[in-house]
Amino acid sequence: MRVTIAGGGLVGLMLARLLRRRGLEPVVIERMRESQYVARGFMLGQQGHPALADAGLLDEVRQMGRAIAPRPDGSCAAIAVEVGRVLSTLAAGTPVRYEHVVTDLVPDAAGRIVGARVDGPGGADVIPSDLVVACDGIRSRVREWAGLATDLEPMAEGKIEWMSPVSTRETFAMEYLSNGGHIGFFSWPEGSFGWRTVERVGREAALAPGLDALTSSWSALLPAAASGVRGLASIEDVHYSEPELLSCPSWWSPGVVIIGDAAHFFGPETGASAGIGLADAHALAEAISTSAGDPDAACRAYEAWRGPAVRPYEMADPGRARLAGARIDPPGPDERWPPA
């Protein structure tokens, strides 16, 4: 089967590796330069560990990071790790057309997608494809061109996050706030990352109190994160965003399938988005290799396998129904951000 993978992020690279292990030669199109990536705090949930193991990389990634909630059998709930190291491990030995952009899909007369239009330093090209796999992230253009319906739901809260070059003694901590919001952090060998929910006040108001106020608030609410947050050089290391949750009622149409962030995006305290994306890649690689060259059969099998695994995360996402059933109070004075 001729498979074109739009997007060489975590999920696209994982799919490429797993397909190559099954004897296929997918074409991976990535718009960024080789080794370029968006730096961020990253913990890889256990949902993605079987895919890494199948790719022969689980032990290597464990060695690079720190285990969160390690178990006696060597497994763990998640691995906190520098995301650039995971990306370069996945990319090693995987052919990728970097600095190329997928610009459109090519339909046949019946509307079935039979190729991808690609633009790169050498000019425009069409890549004939039996299956185009959208691994192009939450703002997927491939999903849009394929006409797959999208439910993007803004979360009720905003989010503040920071990334520090200081690694802390503790690996992970998270607390719920009185209003059902949450504050958490994790640390890997090269740094640490913290996040908390805040009112949707906009970037300017959220960052206006400044770094000293943020440091003392964080240190009081989550003492394990104190040395990490104290390592921030300026308020520029702190980001405010208004996250959205993404779900799609269907994950494929003839000739196209969407996986990873292109298909779903979960709330921040699940810590599950990347792990579920890697598990998507694992299931799709298996579905493609067992479908004897029939892309529609592969997509049907993929959707049947992944629905029961992914849909419950979407339904139960605490970002949609914050702590359903739990007592919700107004935030305490020390929990308010920006402070009153």
Among 21, 22, 40, 311, contact with ligand FAD (rule: CB under 6 A): 40
Residue 64, C-beta contacts closer than 8 angstroms, at least 6 positions apart: 81, 82, 85, 86, 89, 189
- C-beta atoms surrounding 111 within 10 Å: 10
The Cα angle at residue 177 between residues 176 and 181, in degrees rounded to 5: 80
Among 231, 277, 318, 319, contact with ligand FAD (rule: CB under 6 A): 277
Tokens of 213: 């106020």
CA 102 to CA 87: how far, in whole Å? 20
Among 3, 19, 43, 146, contact with ligand FAD (rule: CB under 6 A): 43
Residue 38 or 332 with smaller CB distance to ligand FAD: 38
Q: Does 29 bind ligand FAD (CB under 6 A)?
A: yes
Pairing relation of β-strands 101-107 and 76-80? Answer: unpaired
Q: Provide the minimum distance between the beta carbon of 139 and ligand FAD in the complex, in angstroms, as a whole number.
A: 8
Residue 112 DSSP SS3: coil
| Buried b / exposed e along 85-97 (16+ C-beta atoms within 10 A) | bbbebbbeebebb
Footprint of ligand FAD on 162-201 (CB under 6 A): none
Question: In the 8-state DSSP scheme, what is residue 170?
Answer: S
**Which amino acid is located at 12 in the chain?**
G
Count the residues of the shown chain that bind ligand FAD, applying the rule CB under 6 A. Answer: 31
Q: Provide the minimum distance between the beta carbon of 325 and ligand FAD in the complex, in angstroms, as a whole number.
A: 25
Footprint of ligand FAD on 249-268 (CB under 6 A): 260-261
Among 274, 279, 288, 299, contact with ligand FAD (rule: CB under 6 A): 274
Stretch of 271-279, 282-290, 295-303, 325-333 lying at the interface with ligand FAD (CB under 6 A)? 271-279
Footprint of ligand FAD on 65-94 (CB under 6 A): none
Each residue 121-150 as x (binds ligand FAD by CB under 6 A) or -, in order, gives --------------xxx---x---------
Helix (H) or strand (E) holding 173: strand 172-176
Residue 250 DSSP SS3: coil
Q: Which residues bind ligand FAD (CB under 6 A)?
A: 6-12, 29-32, 40-43, 45, 101-102, 135-137, 141, 161, 260-261, 271-275, 277
